[in-house]
Amino acid sequence: MSEFTEAMAQVAGAVSVVTVRDERDDVGTTVTTFASLSLDPPLVMVSLASAGYLNELLLRRDRWAVSVLSAGQKAMASRFATPGRPGARLLLAGTPHHRGGLSEALVVEGGVTALEAETVQVVPTGDHTLYVARVLAVDYVDAAAAPLVRLRGRYRPVA
């Protein structure tokens, strides 16, 4: 592990699932680089590996959803992080979810919050791509739920 990788492993990040509807299937991945950027207008940011299929898809589709996972959703985070995973609909089979009304992307229920967004700026950065997006809708907020974070290479609940 490089010194930089070790240093960044010390920084906790909220665990989220980003999803987008494709013509053929729904696609999603687990991320820890989702953040609020602006209140007025409401803007968020997500960073994705440039080599991934979801990145390729988001370059064509502007609308997507992000579900910020709760402490009890470690298995969901792992499913969406597994290489060679099937489509998002299969990963969500048997799990409460719905399709976002504005993005048409799948939204995982039971997390701490979920948003639908529309990309307004794409910024290539090293081996990742940053997507700055306008918030279209807040699908839900559960302030009583404990969030799931990734710290030191592991998923951890926040008390």
pTM: 0.94
Question: pLDDT at position 96, please?
Answer: 96
Question: pLDDT at position 114, please?
Answer: 98
Going from the C-alpha of 92 to that of each of 12, 97, 98, the distances in angstroms are 25, 7, 10
pLDDT, one tens digit per residue, over 38-96 is: 999 999 999 999 998 899 999 999 999 999 999 999 999 999 998 888 889 989 999 99
Residue 137 CB neighbours (<10 A): 15
Question: pLDDT at position 22, please?
Answer: 87
C-beta separation of 69 from 148 below 8 A: yes
Q: Say how many residues make up the chain.
A: 159
Element (H, E) at 57: helix 53-58
Structure tokens at 45: 């940011």
Q: Which residues of 96-106 are buried (b: 16+ CB within 10 A; e: fewer)?
A: ebeebeebbbb
Tell which residue, 157, 120, 112, 118, has the closest CA to residue 139. Answer: 112
Q: What percent of the chain has pLDDT over 90?
A: 77
Kindly tell me if the per-residue pLDDT of 159 is higher than 80: no
pLDDT, one tens digit per residue, over 116-128 is: 999 999 999 999 9
Kindly tell me if the per-residue pLDDT of 9 is higher than 90: no
Element (H, E) at 116: strand 113-125
Kindly tell me if the per-residue pLDDT of 21 is higher than 70: yes
- Average pLDDT across the chain, whole number: 93
Kindly tell me if the per-residue pLDDT of 1 is higher than 70: no
Domains and CATH numbers, the chain: 3-153 (2.30.110.10)
Kindly tell me if the per-residue pLDDT of 107 is higher than 90: yes
Kindly tell me if the per-residue pLDDT of 26 is higher than 90: yes
Element (H, E) at 86: none
Question: pLDDT at position 158, please?
Answer: 82
Tell which residue, 119, 98, 19, has the closest CA to residue 65. Answer: 19
